[in-house]
Amino acid sequence: MKITPTGLPEVLLIEPRVFGDERGFFIETWQQQRYAEAGVGREFVQDNMAYSRRGALRGLHIQHPHAQGKLVQALVGEVFDVAVDARFGSPRFGHWVGVRLTADGRQQLWVPEGFLHGYLVTSAEALISYKCTDLYHPETQFSVRWDDPDIGINWPAGVPPILAEKDRDAPLLREIDRTALPEMP
């Protein structure tokens, strides 16, 4: 397994080891001890899958309280996956990192608790899997605008976003009451 730090040190790009031959391949997508040694020492309590078509933009989402860390992987297709530091008091508050996750690349992105998460489907379709460190609590989940100018995410050009109403109408990060945001530990 290869771990590559991103522009946000807590967000990690993970390349699991792939064992392939003429029959196909085998990949270990989660092994608690190895991932703990790599800096992802969490207990996952919920697995999710999302199928989307080209242009679907999901996010930017966060839960607080009941923060969720997410281990994200593309099983089919390709997405531009984004994490934004939303921890009030963090020196990197509002900073973002984006990576291209593809089914062929088999990489994973670790998005820790306290970070906004979202992605844009850049292929014809995509199936995304993500393991979560806490259960989904709709009463504590909220969105921040995907095109917040203060964050300034450089989304891939040429892919018009298809948005859910809650994401399209979401507030800017600066409009969120600071007590609704997680604090830097």
Fold of 2-17+40-174: Jelly Rolls (2.60.120)
The pLDDT value recorded for residue 85 is 98
Reported as a single tens digit per residue, the pLDDT across 109-150 is 999 999 999 999 999 999 999 999 999 999 999 999 999 999
Q: What is the share, in percent, of the chain residues with pLDDT greater than 70? A: 100
Question: Where exactly are the structural domains of the chain?
Answer: 2-17+40-174
Instruction: Kindly report, residue by residue over 23-61, the tens digit of the pLDDT.
Output: 998 988 888 888 888 888 899 999 999 999 999 999 999
For 41-44, the CB contacts below 8 A with 24+ separation are 42/69, 42/133, 43/133, 44/71, 44/131, 44/132, 44/133
List residues with catalytic annotation: 61, 130
**What percent of the chain is modeled with pLDDT above 90?**
82
Q: Residue 184: is its pLDDT beyond 90?
A: no
